[in-house]
Chain A
Amino acid sequence: MSGQVAAFAHNARWEVTRLRRSRRIWLLLIPVVAGPIGSGIADLYLRVPSSGTAEVLGFLITAGLAALIVLDLTALAVGEDLALRTHYLTLALPQPRASALAGRLGVVAGGSLAVYCAGAIGVAWLATALVSTSANAPTPILVPAHLAVGMLGLLVFLGGVTAAAGIVTRSASQALVAGILAGVVAAGVGSLFLIQGHLTWLFPEALAAAGLVGFGWCLVQYGRIEV
């Protein structure tokens, strides 16, 4: 067990080094900074009628930015080494493979979710500060708090699909495309449910479950890769 934990920790640190060296680490600032600022500007420009609607708008913007980050970082964490054949070196090292990849995915997926949460908190604060709800304001199309939490399910789904696609395609770019397509499908299905009035907690829960299955499958298959 200690070997698994050590491999997780070593590779989490390795992923941080890679993010730092490639400067991709700056991407993690985007949802935190651009999410609230962008949604704040949109609130003022569009003159949204209520802070609830402003929150919905802001959560969608911030989650969209976080989705791009989780897609990009996950695709690279899984697919970059496989495409470059770095795994000819790293897979011959004395460590459990699944734990090693879990350490790297923990940083990118966990980091993306964390910055989304930070951005969402900023959005909620700015929406309250910038927008006053008028008396005849319509009810937001979604409950803001529900949307904020539900978006976590979408992000986990996108990360899981991208990670699994990285194993299948052994390519970061193709994994990214697969993740984007999955995101489009999820957004389409979610919109359909919303229009039909069937959008419930089940949808983000199902997305999160599918994402976790994707991550799990990715870790199992990574342990079995033959070169």
Chain B
Amino acid sequence: MSSDLLAVDGVWKRYGDHDALRDVRFSLRSGEAVGYLGPNGAGKTTTLKLLAGLSRPTRGSVRVQGLDPVRDRTRALRHLGALVETPGIPPYLTGADLLEYVACVKGVPAGDRRAAARHAAEMMNVADLLSRPFGSLSTGLARRMLLGAALVGDPEVLLLDEPTLGLDPAARHDLRGVLRGLSRNGLTLLLSTHLLEDVQEVCGRVLFLKNGALVGDEPVNLDPDSGLGGTRRVVRLRFGSDVSVESVARAAGSAFGVTLDSPRQATVRFSGGDAEQGRLLAEVVRAGLPLVSASTPEPDLARRYLERVGREDPT
């Protein structure tokens, strides 16, 4: 049995004489957090609509937990949370009304619905606003309430379409934190966005979509020089006075590749994660080198986006 929670297999979607999606295929395994990047009109939202059962593919198949989200809607969507585009909510309804309705439809027992709604609202930091009508909420707060609706019932799969749209910087930061936390706890996430920062911070894998076709499927974090997937990490070290490449290389050890960018700056490449990076910094300090700061270079996701998708500028 496949462990793919979401599967898009050879999907075409045609509107009139325009192909919104062209032979798109990808799958998400349980617990994966995947970014879905592409310019306006690339077909990101169309893909999410297919996965959420809001639309049918013209050709190909879409599966959510192995089930067709249109034909077997009740079972396929039971553990799925989705926020596609920006649904408008009648202004007289309160957040509690909406979230409790979603809880009810998702099969949360009657006695637990209020708690489930509150829990979801707390994740989005809008629990205090549950009793307020949507008409009195700002765009950003309404958006957070809608994100809360997608989180009701602790879904196993989450489809989010531009989730940070309209959110202030603090709310964006909070949302990314929530998504990272949910992802660590096993949530499968497909995040469609224009914001590369969202993908960089939340996702482990990224899909690039251009003119309805998938043009890239790769890990988010790549060694900028390798062009291949992997767990290589790059750290830039800045020193208070001039150092030599030999002194840094000797301190770092043979597992670390050192190049000198300038007399006071070195770039170190290595395989590994936080533990190896900590060991590197400890060794450099122990060797008496005048280390001032250590940073990871600018992410290369923007560069890769432009390479895969073209000159339509990402945010």
**A positions within 8 Å CB-CB of B:** 3, 7, 10, 13-14, 17-18, 21-23, 80-81, 84-97, 226-227
A10 and B75 contact, Cβ closer than 8 Å, known pairs A88-B85, A89-B83, A227-B55:
no
Q: Which residues of B contact A95 (CB under 8 A)?
A: 73-74, 105
Question: Interface residues, chain B, CB within 8 Å of chain A?
Answer: 49, 52-56, 73-78, 80, 82-90, 92-94, 97, 101-102, 104-107, 133, 146, 149
Cβ–Cβ < 8 Å partners of A88 in chain B: 54, 84-87
10 examples of A-B residue contacts, CB within 8 angstroms? A3-B74, A17-B93, A18-B93, A88-B54, A90-B87, A92-B84, A94-B73, A94-B77, A226-B55, A227-B55
Q: Are B106 and A10 in contact (CB-based, < 8 A)?
A: no
Whether B55 pairs with A86 at a CB distance below 8 angstroms is: no
Q: Is the CB of A94 within 8 A of B105?
A: yes
Determine whether the beta carbon of B92 is less than 8 Å from that of A91. Answer: no
Looking at chain A's contact residues, the main secondary structure is helix
- Would you call A96 and B53 a contact (CB within 8 A)? no
Query: Are the C-beta atoms of B90 and A94 separated by less than 8 Å?
Result: no
B92-A92 in contact (CB<8A): no
B87 and A89 form a contact (CB under 8 A): yes
> Which residue in A21, A23, A85 is a CB contact (below 8 Å) of B97?
A21
- Point out the residues of chain B lying under 8 angstroms from A7, CB to CB: 105
A10 to B86, CA, bound (A): 24
Find chain A residues with CB under 8 A from B149 CB: 89
Closest to A3 in B: B74
Residue of B nearest to A83 (CB): B88
B106 partner residues in chain A, CB cutoff 8 A: 93-94
The 9 closest A-B pairs by CB, nearest first: A84-B88, A94-B77, A88-B87, A89-B87, A92-B52, A22-B92, A21-B92, A94-B78, A93-B105
- How long is the Cα–Cα vector from A64 to B71 in the complex, in angstroms? 42
CA distance A93 to B104 in the complex (A): 10
Are B90 and A18 in contact, with the CB atoms below 8 A? yes
Pick from A21, A92, A96: contact of B94, CB under 8 Å: A21
Q: Do the beta carbons of A92 and B82 come within 8 Å of each other?
A: yes
- Which residue of chain B has the shortest Cβ distance to A14 in the bound complex? B101
> A92 with B77: in contact, given A10-B105, A14-B101, A85-B85 (CB under 8 Å)?
yes
Smallest CB separation, B51 vs chain A (Å): 9
- Chain B, Cβ-Cβ closest to A13: B104
Interface pair B54/A17, CB less than 8 Å apart: no
Cβ-defined partner of B53 (8 Å) among A3, A18, A91: A91
Most buried by A among B84, B101, B133: B101
- Contacting pair B54 A94 (CB below 8 A): no
Contacts of A96 in B (CB 8 A): 73-74
Contacts of A91 in B (CB 8 A): 53-54
Residue of A whose beta carbon sits closest to that of B76: A94
Name A87's closest neighbour in chain B (CB-CB): B87
Question: Closest CB-CB distance, A78 to chain B, in whole Å?
Answer: 13
Contact A93 B77 (CB under 8 A): yes
The answer to whether A86 touches B87, judged by C-beta atoms less than 8 angstroms apart, is yes
Shortest C-beta distance, B162 to chain A (Å), equals 13
Distance in angstroms from B60 CB to nearest chain A CB is: 16
Report the bound CA distance from A224 to B80 in whole Å: 20
Say whether A10 contacts B54, CB under 8 Å. Answer: no
Complex contact B101–A85 (CB within 8 A):
no
With both chains docked as a complex, state the minimum distance between the C-beta of B24 and any C-beta of chain A, in angstroms: 17
Contact of A94 among B75, B101, B146 (CB under 8 A): B75
* Inter-chain contacts of A92 with B (CB < 8 A): 52-54, 77, 80, 82, 84
Min CB gap A176→B, angstroms:
16
Least CB distance from A206 to B in Å reads 35
Please indicate the chain A residues that have their CB under 8 angstroms from the CB of B83 in the complex: 89
Shortest A173–chain B CB gap in Å is 14
Q: A85, B74: Cβ atoms under 8 Å?
A: no
Contact A86:B90 (CB < 8 A) given known A21-B97, A227-B49: yes
How far does the alpha carbon of A91 sit from the alpha carbon of B70 in the complex, in Å? 10
**Which residues of the other chain, A, contact B55 by a CB distance below 8 angstroms?**
226-227
**Are B93 and A227 closer than 8 Å at their CB atoms?**
no
Contact A22 B90 (CB under 8 A): yes
Cα A190 to Cα B74 with chains together (Å): 45
**B49, B73, B76, B97 interface centre (most CB from chain A within 10 Å):** B73
> A23 — which chain B residues lie within 8 A by C-beta?
92
